[in-house]
Amino acid sequence: MKDVRKDFPILNRTVNGSPLIYLDNAATSQKPKEVVDKIVEYYYKYNSNVHRGIHTLSEESTEMYEGARKLISDFIGADNPREILFTKGTTESLNRIAERWVPANLKRGDVILLSDLEHHSNIIPWQKAAERIGAEINYINTDDNGEITIEEVKKMISDKVKLISISHASNVLGTIVPIKEICKLAHDKGIYVCVDGAQAAPHLKINVQSLGCDFYAFSSHKMLGPMGVGVLWAKEKILKELEPYEYGGGMIDEVSFKNAAWAEIPIRFEAGTPNVSGAVGLGAAVTYLSNIGMDNIRNHEIELSKYLLEGLKEIKGINIIGPREADKRTGLISFYFLNIHSHDIASVLNTLGIAVRSGYHCAMPLHNKLNIPSTVRVSYYLYNTKEELNTLLNGIKKALDILS
């Protein structure tokens, strides 16, 4: 995968006098020149509002916008592009379901089932929705290896459970969750399944039809695309029955002084001027990923995970969390040291040009459950190398020499 590095100009820069080693991909990925060029091309040649004009630029913009929707639909195996809604990102996508679908489908006493490894964005919207309607929230527990087992899911399912919302992959443990099996189990009981795919879509080959979920949300910026745009996929039948999240221009079919009628899906869910350049950029990103091959990306990350897990085990006093097997996690590893704060480790690494993430990673309940104050998270992607991981390992040892 070394050949791809030439496509990412930012990897050529230095930080604090050292070559940049970017290992914070779970927070946001870098963008290839192909994606940036596509966004620039859009603004230089086609910039116009979509769906609202018969002039050439508007028609071309609309074609690019809807073309991106089709590319993304194909990328995740959607039944048709109408099931793809553009949002600001995973967080907004999950909030849309909590704000609109939950009140229309759940009632007081019903249960929403989450897991203990969730990002705050897949906890708080459901907490607030449950408060409004009087529903309850229960949590599936991970095992000692940081995994979610079907046996544990079965224990948590009851007649009161109406929705399971769960991450496809953890942004702290790296755990890949058995979504397909969970969906089958849930649907046998008439339970809907919403998947937070923010940490999975960049790394795994996704097919929502095969997974069998009802909702799937993910973000552009974690998979080589621009910030400020994401996707909510939902089955067409669900979308047709769902009330719009916002109201205004573009999402209507007819308006009078007294009432309004909505446009067809997906347009009824995209009020106002959409982030056209963001959608176009995401379309370019999924094209780039598809050309490389998601299986190739996955194999590269497994190889890096094996290499890094072995290297970290040689460091005295380190505590690695999450699955011990490289093929059970995405491209990230989190760890901590007793009596040394993660921010201090990350600060020393930054002096060496190494970018990692430290803290709770928007998963405070998980850290509290594990009784650890914070972790250092190393997250790698298709452009990272074993040579970079060697530099990281040496950097961690240097940090320990300074901080111990």
| pLDDT digit string, tens, across residues 25-48 | 999 999 999 999 999 999 999 999
Mean per-residue pLDDT of the chain? 97
Q: How many CB atoms lie within 10 A of CB 146?
A: 22
The reported pLDDT for the residue numbered 342 is: 97
- Is 362 tagged catalytic? yes
Residue 70 has pLDDT above 80, yes or no: yes
35-291: which CATH architecture? 3-Layer(aba) Sandwich (3.40)
Mean pLDDT, range 176-191, rounded to an integer: 98
In angstroms, the CA 43 to CA 38 distance is: 9
| pLDDT digit string, tens, across residues 85-94 | 999 999 999 9
In angstroms, the CA 338 to CA 326 distance is: 24
Residues written for the chain: 404
Residue 2 has pLDDT above 80, yes or no: no
- Residue spans of the domains in the chain: they are 2-25+294-403, 35-291
Residue 223 has pLDDT above 80, yes or no: yes
| pLDDT digit string, tens, across residues 119-169 | 999 999 999 999 999 999 999 999 999 999 999 999 999 999 999 999 999
In angstroms, the CA 264 to CA 95 distance is: 21
| pLDDT digit string, tens, across residues 235-250 | 999 999 999 999 999 8
The reported pLDDT for the residue numbered 380 is: 98
The reported pLDDT for the residue numbered 404 is: 86
The reported pLDDT for the residue numbered 52 is: 78
The reported pLDDT for the residue numbered 178 is: 98
Of 176, 179, 198, the closest CA to residue 301 belongs to 176
Whether residue 266 is preceded by a cis peptide bond, meaning omega within 30 degrees of 0, is yes
Kindly provide the b/e burial profile for residues 299-313, where b requires at least 16 CB atoms within 10 angstroms of the residue's own CB.
Answer: ebbbebbebbbebbe
**Residue 272 — φ and ψ, nearest 5°?**
80, -175
Quote the CATH superfamily of domain 2-25+294-403.
Aspartate Aminotransferase, domain 1 (3.90.1150.10)
Q: How confident is residue 53, by pLDDT bands cut at 50, 70 and 90?
A: confident
Report residue 45 as tokens: 């040649």
Using an 8 Å Cβ cutoff, are 318 and 335 in contact?
A: yes
Common-topology check for domains 2-25+294-403 and 35-291: no
The single residue of 183, 194, 213, 362 carrying the catalytic annotation is: 362
Paired residues of 232 in beta bridges: 85, 217
